[in-house]
Structure 1
Amino acid sequence: MDFAQLAAARHSAVNFEKDFRMTEQDFKQIFELTKLAPSVYNLQLTNYFVITDEEKKEALRDLHFGQYKIHTASAAVLVLGNRQSATVESAEKMYMPMKMLQMMDECEYNATIESIAQYANGLDEAGLRDELVRNASLHAMLFMLAAKHYGFDTCPMHVHNVPQLRELFSIPAHLEPIMLITIGKSVDKERPRGYRKPVNEFVQFNSF
């Protein structure tokens, strides 16, 4: 399908085929497209934690008010913002190979690292949190579109009970849970889309 068809076909699934199981290869092909998402200075601030184990999914479900879609989904995917990626050290690891391959010269490399250093050093806690949410959200939307491209359905969800979640899965302190996405094969193929505002109600040009 073309992009217009893909965007129209993506719905938030509220129930999944319980016995359907996605493979690791299914996820790898989705993430091969997802990794193309934009990120600030190409620092790629987003990590994923894919939960397919049934017992672990049920433990996750308990922390999310027993939501049934976690029970029936093939997997629950935690979208995480990586604080360690918004650093000069991360930038050097990202850009040094480009310099070595002569994709950028020494001057361009140094200027890029200096710009990233100014950006990273200027982030307070609130600014870093905003950056993680912004970048992870862009990444997550592409993940859901890529999933639909390969025939899978998704539903984005809030993350709840973060302290207990961290303890349950031993999530390192530098990874910030941003969003939860359930994924699998939707049971309800013909579920109607909810009302959408007309474009002229949420888009203005040049003035308000």
Structure 2
Amino acid sequence: MTFEELVKSRHSAVNFIESEKMTDDDFKKIFELTKLAPSAYNLQFADYLVITDVDKKERIKELAHNQYKIHTASAVVIVMGNKNSFEDFEAEKIYSPMKMLKMMDELEYEMTMNQIKGYREGLKANGSALDMELARNVGLHAMLFMLSAKHYGFDTCPMHVHNVDELRKEFSIPDHLVPILMITIGKSVDKMRPRGYRKPVGEFVNFNGYK
């Protein structure tokens, strides 16, 4: 499948083959591609909670206004932003091995750490900026997850996260992880319905300013 075919074949699935089970290896292959998504300073903000247990999926279904696709999906994937990704200890985990392998020298390492510190402090000074940065980076990651899933033959549907406080309690989600969206995944039970209307490119793309 070419990339063009992959993108055109990815639709949001509204129902799944309930008997379809996904293995750890299925998810590993998907996440091995997903981890290549870009992120600010390569800080890799996305964390995933994969729910395959039938009873736990049903609990998520209850929290998400009983949407049936959750019941039939092979799994529900909660995609979260990790607020700790901005902190020095996470940045050091990513950049220290690069310094050790001489992919960057000491000066470049220190400059990068200082840049990340400034970036972090600027975001913390504006709470909405922090939320937006998490959403932006997690959104990039989640889209690559859905394309990677389709590459391996699985269908997906991105969804809102509902009742976040109850979800946190149910799955012991720590405070530094912010649920941003969830994705149902499996194999669609039917042929995909025709894609909804898309605006012509000329309606949403402008070059060199607006008239």
TM-score by length of 2: 0.97
- Please state how far the C-alpha of 1:190 moved relative to its aligned partner: 3.7
Partner of 1:112: 112
C-alpha separation in 2, matches of 1:111 and 1:92: 12
Relative to structure 1, is the Cα distance of residues 166 and 190 closer, same or farther in structure 2, using a 3 angstrom cutoff?
closer
Partner of 2:58: 58
Partner of 2:191: 189
Partner of 1:33: 33
User: What are the within-5 Å matches in structure 2 for residues 1-208 of structure 1?
Assistant: 1-124=1-124, 125-208=127-210
- Please state how far the C-alpha of 1:49 moved relative to its aligned partner: 0.2
Unpaired runs of 5+ in structure 1? none
Deviations 1:39-59 (A, max 9, x none): 010000100000000000000
TM-score by length of 1: 0.99
> Is the 2:99–2:105 Cα contact (8 Å) retained in structure 1?
yes
Unpaired runs of 5+ in structure 2? none
- Please state how far the C-alpha of 1:90 moved relative to its aligned partner: 1.1
C-alpha separation in 2, matches of 1:75 and 1:151: 14
> Is the 1:88–1:120 Cα contact (8 Å) retained in structure 2?
no
The two structures, once aligned, show a CA RMSD in angstroms of: 0.7
Instruction: Give structure 1 regions of 4+ aligned residues with deviation exceeding 2 angstroms.
Output: none
Amino acid paired to 2:103: M
Amino acid paired to 2:75: A
> Is the 1:34–1:139 Cα contact (8 Å) retained in structure 2?
yes
> Is the 2:17–2:72 Cα contact (8 Å) retained in structure 1?
yes
The number of equivalent residue pairs is 208
